[in-house]
Amino acid sequence: MKKHILFIDLLLLAIFIFLIVSKIVTVPAIKIIQPIFMILIAVHLIQHWKVLAASIKRMIK
């Protein structure tokens, strides 16, 4: 599970940098990249929520 989170983190970082660069340099594919970025953020939040919930369950036991 942690490898998947790291992979999504790296993808989010790369797309975020790409979005910032696209503000400086005109990139025609930006309208395709923005929804992918939002979907990855949602996946990222869900993954971290699962890890947090599992950690809390272990702490309570």
Q: Give 6-51 pLDDT, tens digit per residue.
A: 888 899 999 999 989 988 888 888 888 899 999 999 988 888 888 8
Rg (CA), the chain: 15
Task: Quote the domain boundaries for residue 33.
Answer: 2-60
Compute CA distances 54 → 1, 20, 22, 43, whole Å: 12, 34, 38, 17
Tokens matching residue 44: 């990222």
pLDDT for 48: 84
pLDDT for 1: 55
Please give the model's pTM, rounded to 2 decimal places: 0.71
**Domains of the chain: total:** 1
The more confidently predicted of residues 11 and 52 is 11
Total H helices, total E strands in the chain: 2, 0
pLDDT for 49: 87
Give the span between the Cα atoms of 11 and 15, in whole angstroms.
6
Give the span between the Cα atoms of 17 and 22, in whole angstroms.
8
